[in-house]
């Protein structure tokens, strides 16, 4: 069950799921702005590290633990979002430090360099968090469902976490 074939199928399909999540977040933000402010939807570009982070988190949270329960799937969603948020904050911190060092006459202060990434991550969490939750949760659960259908020789999850049967009783 937990084979190399599942590993590669899971990681490659997680990459595709991450791409669909970014596209879905773009559509949700575009719809939320009424289509009048496409620039707001372009903030999704900052979440592009998720294309690499989500498959890596799928490996770490799901495959290494050999547990594809709903609980682990929700952990995967949170872990991927947290790691991408940290990447964005770190890159902004480094960018601020480079700007301050390269132009000593700039009005960027060390305090601003420390506060600005934190503020942007908080605002980004509010702006991107809701579309992420709207799109990522069903996508991750669909990914789980598809992989469980493709690799049905044994269960992914705990016995108490079974998928309901889609066939009629009897």
Task: Write out pLDDT tens, residues 154-163.
Answer: 555 554 445 4
Domain extents in the chain = 4-150
What distance in Å separates the CA atoms of residue 60 and residue 62, rounded to the nearest whole number?
A: 6
Neighbours of 12 (CB within 10 A): 11
- Kindly state the DSSP code that residue 58 receives in the 8-state scheme: I
Task: Write out pLDDT tens, residues 96-135.
Answer: 777 777 877 777 677 776 777 677 767 777 778 888 999 9
3-state DSSP assignment of residue 56: helix
With 0-12 / 13-18 / 19 or more C-beta atoms within 10 angstroms meaning exposed / middle / buried, residue 127 is middle
What distance in Å separates the CA atoms of residue 33 and residue 41, rounded to the nearest whole number?
A: 8
Task: Write out pLDDT tens, residues 30-84.
Answer: 888 887 877 777 888 888 899 999 999 999 999 999 999 999 999 999 999 999 9
- Kindly state the DSSP code that residue 46 receives in the 8-state scheme: G
């Amino acid at each position: 069950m937990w084979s190399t074939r599942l590993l590669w199928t899971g990681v490659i399909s997680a990459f595709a799921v991450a791409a669909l999540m970014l596209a879905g977040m773009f559509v949700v933000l575009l719809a939320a702005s009424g289509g009048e402010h496409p620039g707001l939807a372009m903030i999704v570009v900052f979440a592009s590290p998720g294309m690499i982070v989500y498959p890596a988190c799928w490996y770490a949270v799901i495959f290494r633990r050999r547990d594809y329960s709903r609980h682990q799937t929700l952990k995967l969603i949170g872990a991927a979002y947290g790691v991408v948020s940290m990447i964005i904050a770190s890159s902004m911190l480094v960018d601020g430090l480079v700007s301050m060092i390269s132009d000593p006459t700039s009005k960027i202060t060390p305090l601003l360099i420390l506060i600005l990434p934190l503020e942007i991550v908080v605002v980004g969490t509010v702006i991107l968090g809701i579309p992420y939750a709207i799109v990522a949760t069903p996508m991750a659960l669909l990914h789980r469902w598809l992989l469980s259908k493709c690799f049905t020789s044994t269960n992914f999850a705990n016995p108490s976490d079974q998928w309901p049967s889609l066939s009629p009783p009897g």
